[in-house]
A and B are shown apart, each in its own frame.
Chain A
Amino acid sequence: MEDNQMRLDGNAIAGLLGELFTAEVTDARGACLGCGAVGALGAQHLYMHPLAPGAVLRCRWCESVLMVLVHAEGRVRLAVRGMAWLDIEDNAERID
């Protein structure tokens, strides 16, 4: 099986992260600790169920692990282990 048949766009992680974050994260930008590349989360490579026990987001340039997400027993564990930083739209409540 070709690698590109086994991975998905980072768009597919949007449903998982959308349950945790109130801001839209797929156009959030992050910096890979492995190679320094900066890009939108939605553009990275995602490996997930049914193809894996959890969701693993990898840098599209160097394939280092950026984030891992595991759902188990009513809890979600998110590891943001491979990103130097993550930059998200500020969605704070405003009072007009």
Chain B
Amino acid sequence: MARAALQRRLTWRLAEVTQLVAETPRVRSLVLEVPGWPGHRAGQHMDVRLTAEDGYAAERSYSIASAPDAGEQLTLTVERLDDGEVSPYLTEELRVGDQLELRGPIGGYFVWDLEMGGPLMLIAGGSGICPLMAMLRRRAGASSKVPARLLYSSRSREDIIYREELHRRGAAGSGLEVIHTLTRVQPPDWTGRAGRIDQAMLNDVAWSPTDRPLMYVCGPTTLVEHVADALVNLGHDPERVKTERFGPTGG
């Protein structure tokens, strides 16, 4: 007789950095090999703990950007914050072969599984794209037919994380539509949108309330709150709007 696996309590474990990928001038993806990784769901995150020689420790949370179908390999995508304590280490000092202490997977609220269906409305600001990317990678890896739209706000074209990959995934026939908006500067040949996400843009871009989309909003707190309020104002069911704020945990 086989026992169904008992869900374990979270413990700290060591992962090895196997690859580092420069996504944008300020953003780097860390590909990690995590022995014994129990698997995760798209949208979940990890806690990373850095300990200095004198015992001082700093912890931060990062969304898992990779889909749940890569066994013991995971990807975290980190944005370097200028006055940060952990992000400069992860984006500049960390080397292939280093080990990182981490804990996860964490989160049962801001997750999307294939069975949850759609249509999917994903809205991201800056590095808020990371957990949504896990969802899109999951969707693609399973060849899911769930219709999906991504509205992604970035400062400039150079700051768009996963730009090439999103362009590929949003190709005709994929069932995914990617809409970019640039808030600070648009290149001369830009055909996307400009300016911050507001209710008018959402009204244009989002599925209508009658489609009953599943909505995931992730990014800086102010963006998330404005977008969530706007979606509800447009008539969407608040129970189907899930939010993850990247708050002031330090960076």
Contacts and interface: CB of A to CB of B under 8 A. Distances in A.
Q: Which of A14, A28, A94 has the most CB of B within 10 A?
A: A14
Interface string A1-42: 010111111111011001111111111100000000000111
Contacts of B248: 5-6, 51
Nearest to A6: B248
B209 to A, nearest CB: 20
Interface stretch (B4-12, B28-36, B70-78, B188-196): B4-12
B249 interface: yes
A26 B249 contact: no
Interface stretch (B106-114, B134-142, B158-166): B106-114
B221 interface: yes
B225 A4 contact: yes
A49 B47 CA distance: 14
A42 B110 contact: yes
A8 B106 contact: no
Contacts of B3: 93-96
Contacts of A18: 9-10, 103, 106
Given A24-B108, A42-B110, A12 B247 contact: yes
A27 B41 CA distance: 13
B107 A42 contact: yes
B145 interface: no
B4 A27 contact: no
Contacts of A9: 109-110, 243-245, 247
A96 B45 CA distance: 31
B186 interface: no
A21 B106 CA distance: 12
Given A19-B9, A20-B9, A96-B3, A5 B109 contact: no
B250 interface: yes
B1 interface: yes
A43 interface: yes
B109 A40 contact: yes
A96 B1 contact: yes
A51 B11 CA distance: 24
B222 interface: yes
Nearest to B12: A19
Interface of B: 1-4, 6-11, 45, 47, 61, 103-104, 106-110, 221-222, 225, 243-245, 247-250
